[in-house]
Structure 1
Amino acid sequence: MAVTATAATVAVTVMGLAVSPAAAAPTATTAQTPAPGDTCTAADLGTRHPYIKTTEVSPAITHFKGWYVTQGTTGYQSVTTSTQDTISVSVGLNGSVQGSFAVQTLGTVGAMLGLSVQVNYTSTSSESNTVTWNFGRPGYYGVYKGTKEVTGTYGSLNCNRTQQGDGSWALKWIEGPGSGSFTTYTTLEEGAVRCEDTVPANSIMAKAKGLLDCGSPAVRAEHPAGAVAPTAKQTQDRLGQHPATTTGTSAEQPKATGRSALAALNCQPGAYRIDVPGRPLNWSAPLLANDGIRLRESTFFSAHLDNWRLCNVTENNGVLEASLWNWGNGGCATIPANIANLEQAYLTTATCGEDDLQRFYIYRDVPGSSKIGVQNKYTGSMMGHDRYADGELIRQYSSGRQDGTGTYTLTGV
């Protein structure tokens, strides 16, 4: 599946390298960078944007080697370093960057901090670990590659109706369900530093110098030119490094509970069609088990495949959460588990069960309008379609469809 991909006025925590207030917390917003409480339109009901809650920037050494340069061995040398730490870019702690929402999250982080950060999945482990350096003086050097590691947390902004102080209603960007953490890094730099060198505090070079154990007797002893064994400090730091990839379940993507037990659905009495506004096509459940939910025109022969009930409904801060039960085939709308991590994974139906893949958030227009946006609880992605055509699959888009094709109407039948 194709993978494609801003920021609000937020409280930002920056530790490690200093960041100027102007870079850390911009207040200006545009149509592409809404802030909580900004006005949105019905076309935004099927979209979402990230906003950054906290950030931390700290120097990290990815490759390192202690290296002695004696009198007569100065000049250019190529030093093969050892991996000290591995940083992998991820959003949502799933070890990768999937979809436009993740890319947009990292792009927002870079813009906020004034840093050029990685916005696609990559890892420092793929970088070359050979450093060529011109050693001008004899001494004990730390030869290194390093970067600024950028981590933090984000939330999701969704468009939904909110009641004003005077009792009227308006569409606003609100903090929707779903949050998580991210990791990225800046451009790698390489160099060499001696114990005698004065370096800026909290810099990558200072981090490398800290690995030298400059006060140890081994540093003051005579040594032949070339590599030295890792010091106790280097070994300790290496053993304490974070893994290349993070296992576990994203905070944005709560663990699915499976389908071993059927849920006793408590469905609302009414049935609905989920229509494209002002047009005849609407969501229709599949007849075949391996097919997906598609846009179809409602006819006498639809056999209720285009009729949906809202089941096990809850409401939190004006956002509905429900299972979508199909009257025609008796299944519940779901994203197939084996493709749930993919951008543009299709929506289908399955035996109803206790499974967050079958739960959906519904964002509503102001009272009097039936327009809605639909978001899967497990993946966080918004539902939409690529083009308006009979038979077109309903798919998930991590940021929604920015052209408004993710906004539908909930029409009672």
Structure 2
Amino acid sequence: MAATASAACVLTAAGLTASPAAAAPAATAAAGAGPEAGQSCTAADLGTRHPYIKTSEVSPTITHFKGWYVTEGTTGTHTVNTSTQTTISVSVGLNGNVEGSFAVETLGKVGASLGLNVQVNYTSTSSVSDSITWSFRQPGYYGLYKGTKKVTGTYGSINCNRVKQDDGSWALKWIKGVDSGSYTTYTTLEEGAVRCEDKVPANSIMARAQALLDCGSATATATAGHEAGAVPSAKADAVKAAQEAATTDAHGRPAAKKTTGSPAPSTRPALNCQSDVYKIAVPGKPLNWSAPLLANDGIRLRESTIFSAHLDNWRLCNVTENDGVLEATLWNWGNGGCATISGQNASTERAALTTATCAEDNLQRFSIYRDVPGSGKIGIQNKYTGSMVGYDRYADGEFLRQYSSGRQDGSGTFDLLKV
């Protein structure tokens, strides 16, 4: 839909673009509050978690831009193909997309805390059409743009754990967990046109676009005798060149992406395991965790029998405690491996747990949230992914899997039973 870009209208007529990215669902201040640290929880909550927002930053960002000359006799409606300046992709934690309920809830919390409509599904500004149709009533040098507010920050998780109270008794309460991560999202896209002489709000999307016009340069000031149409902006071109340089090597090829994660160990560490042996059981039921015999299989729910060959027996190794939360490596007596999430599946919702050669990296470390003393009920969280452990349904042979928010039906609560 065309808008009017006269000097008076440029400041007020910048409309919202109905682009594919803008059409994605957004989180608003109406998002649910969820539990807060210090509130009571139950044993069924031990295997769940919820996000809280630690930090947030809002930055007006230009995603598409083009300098455009309109001369006498060329006013009217123009359709201009812009150049991509910045690509913003929605992400939470390890995910290069938004997968799982925890990620969606995190972005909902962001929107609620800032009072902004932000994207809560995976999308990217690169999916937006780069053309802008605008009605120009006056000659001049314009910057046509699409932009948004980029929102970044960090989050933590709220977990259920036992807490010792002032009178010496114990209670289950929501606490701030040990894991954290970062997020990126953005608000609805805006498009418009701006000139150097226009007065615009400081730190606005329009002000960012005006800065790309490189006002004061020969290009911006030499209006007389200039042909109508596209005009290169030195500053916009410099921004784009810097972005391209960051994504290509010295030969112009795509640069290798930086990866994060646990480095491969150079030597196999010795585990310091406790002498106690445990079953990790479903409370009140006969099935419990059983490690696989086959390397490509996963940890499953099984019933213990005389043929279990200690595959259902686990030791806690290299145990530490931080603010009442245990952290341990889970070593299996039957196959000698350690429970883990495969690195290639680390960001995958419902990825199955398996065992691997003990390497003592964060994929093999688990936080253990405990019920009050006297109860063996626990919730288990992978340190690297932040996801909780649970299962889809109670059945013999069912995989143990990771769930970003845990299983809200209580099926992520287990019993740590000493053998």
TM-score bracket relative to the smaller structure: 0.7 to 0.9
Supply the distance in 2 between the matched residues of 1:261 and 1:217 (Cα, whole angstroms).
Answer: 62
Aligned 1:5-404 pairs, distance under 5 A: 33-92=34-93, 95-221=96-222, 222=224, 223-231=226-234, 233-241=235-243, 247-248=257-258, 255-258=261-264, 260-404=266-410
Distance 1:193 1:145, change over 3 A: same
What amino acid is aligned across from residue 405 of structure 1 in structure 2? S
Secondary structure, aligned partner of 2:269: coil
Supply the distance in 2 between the matched residues of 1:268 and 1:123 (Cα, whole angstroms).
Answer: 48
Note the C-alpha offset of 1:299. Answer: 1.6
Supply the distance in 2 between the matched residues of 1:80 and 1:353 (Cα, whole angstroms).
Answer: 53
Note the C-alpha offset of 1:256. Answer: 1.7
Which segments of 5 or more consecutive residues in structure 1 lack a partner in the other structure?
1-25
Identity level (%): 72
Supply the distance in 2 between the matched residues of 1:309 and 1:93 (Cα, whole angstroms).
Answer: 28
Q: Is the 8 A contact 1:276 1:408 kept in 2?
A: yes
Note the C-alpha offset of 1:89. Answer: 1.4
- CA-to-partner distance for each residue in 1:321-350, whole Å, 9 max, x for gaps? 111111112211111222222111101111
Supply the distance in 1 between the matched residues of 2:241 and 2:152 (Cα, whole angstroms).
Answer: 21
Supply the distance in 1 between the matched residues of 2:295 and 2:266 (Cα, whole angstroms).
Answer: 18
What amino acid is aligned across from residue 83 of structure 2 in structure 1? S
Supply the distance in 2 between the matched residues of 1:313 and 1:260 (Cα, whole angstroms).
Answer: 22
Note the C-alpha offset of 1:93. Answer: 6.2
Q: Is the 8 A contact 2:212 2:233 kept in 1?
A: no
* RMSD over aligned Cα atoms: 2.2
Note the C-alpha offset of 1:128. Answer: 0.8
Note the C-alpha offset of 1:216. Answer: 2.8
Secondary structure, aligned partner of 2:344: helix
- CA-to-partner distance for each residue in 1:125-161, whole Å, 9 max, x for gaps? 1211010001111111110111111111111111111
Distance 1:38 1:239, change over 3 A: farther
Q: Is the 8 A contact 1:94 1:246 kept in 2?
A: no
Q: Is the 8 A contact 1:93 1:247 kept in 2?
A: no
Supply the distance in 2 between the matched residues of 1:277 and 1:240 (Cα, whole angstroms).
Answer: 57
- CA-to-partner distance for each residue in 1:54-104, whole Å, 9 max, x for gaps? 111121111111111111111111001111111121222654333322222
Secondary structure, aligned partner of 2:392: coil
What amino acid is aligned across from residue 264 of structure 1 in structure 2? A
Secondary structure, aligned partner of 1:37: coil
Note the C-alpha offset of 1:240. Answer: 4.7
Q: Is the 8 A contact 2:268 2:358 kept in 1?
A: yes
- CA-to-partner distance for each residue in 1:261-307, whole Å, 9 max, x for gaps? 32211111111111111111111111222111111111222121111
What residue number does 2:24 align with?
none
TM-score of the pair, normalised by structure 2: 0.86
Q: Is the 8 A contact 2:31 2:112 kept in 1?
A: no
Note the C-alpha offset of 1:29. Answer: 10
Note the C-alpha offset of 1:218. Answer: 2.9
TM-score of the pair, normalised by structure 1: 0.87
